Amino acid sequence: MKNTIIELAQNLIRRPSISPNDCGCQAEIAQRLEAVGFTLEWLPFGDTLNLWATHGSEDPCVVFAGHTDVVPVGDESQWQYPPFSAEIVDGTLYGRGAADMKGSLAALVIAAETFVKNNPNHKGKIALLITSDEEAAAKDGTVKVVETLMARQEAVHYAVVGEPSSGKVLGDVIKNGRRGSITANLYIEGIQGHVAYPHLAENPVHTALNFLTELTTYQWDNGNEFFPPTSLQIANIKAGTGSNNVIPGELYVQFNLRYCTEVTDEIIKNKVAEMLNKHALKHRIEWNLSGKPFLAGNGKLVKAAVQAVENVTKITPRLDTSGGTSDGRFIALMGAEVVEFGPLNATIHKVNECVSVDDLGKCGEVYYQILENLLNGE
């Protein structure tokens, strides 16, 4: 599979699909899948193109998920090789999206294609969910496909997301879950005035200090076997007019929580409201939930993935839930077990993004063996 994977990865990288543009990536993938008997369904929403391709109709449904969009390249003069040229030098494939995630997407596609060729009457259903809206707003991509599938009661049991999960060597990490992410935009009301007449004003920075201390020192939980404790960070804080003689009339605080399965977004909202009321702060608050936490634990998919990685790389992967969010958070809403496995993440979103050619070949072998373990295993 290796040579075919690299050829497809190069073709995808050469298409400058800055999010949410697809630039023909999915059409090329669809053509390959249709040739081996996959049923194609196009699910465009807004400016986003989504592909749902399936082979087979029985349970369980195993989904390979990925995205064709990439982040901007920045200053092209800083790149050693043109970012959309897909150059291979000394066994390394260079280009925007090489690691995140056109390389692993090519491996997912070729693994599924090869498995179907070798097992035309396989058990279960194999599906590919591909979007062009993962790196930007993530509003019209995987989340909309999931809503569509759930509305028509189409089940997904297992999902492998090809995000670059590996740290130092291929196979050292499998993501078997992710923390939830929720952001608050908090506005605390005061009374603007002259700094020389504080009795005629109310400084919201001063009145909020005790609240902010409690907010930033509160212990939400102790984490669990799979997750570190929930953490809160203030991302932005702003007040004042820019003048040194004006007491501000409003304080803006933006904070984010990366939370584990020991709490919920509702528990977080209620506790913050309790703190604000305790400190008698006049305020308004706006919440944005980016994603709920999900966990595959040590389920059947995790065991199948660990076994596949061990067979191919001779490494026992560490199960990990750290890092940011991914589209896996949307698929998990369907009750599916979700894991993320892919190449090294050392160069993602960087100048000279690259991936090992050998690693991409091994990724394809891992994805193929996961299908073997789930659909042909005992």
For the question of residue 69 being annotated catalytic, the response is: yes
- Residue 26 backbone phi and psi in degrees, to 5: -70, -30
DSSP structure class, residue 138 = -
The residue annotated as part of the active site, out of 134, 163, 250, 327, is 134
Compute the C-alpha angle 240/258/276, nearest 5°: 45
The residue annotated as part of the active site, out of 22, 69, 135, 327, is 69
**What are the angstrom distances between the C-alpha of 47 and each of 70, 133, 375?**
15, 9, 35
Q: 89-111 as b/e, with b when 16 or more CB fall inside 10 Å?
A: eeebbbbbbbbbbbbbbbbbbbb
> Quick one: tokens of 353?
């993004």
Angle of helix 2-13 versus helix 357-371 axis, rounded to 10: 110
Q: Within 10 A of 284 (CB to CB), how many other CB atoms are there?
A: 10
> Quick one: tokens of 337?
């077990």
For the question of residue 34 being annotated catalytic, the response is: no
Active site residues: 69, 134
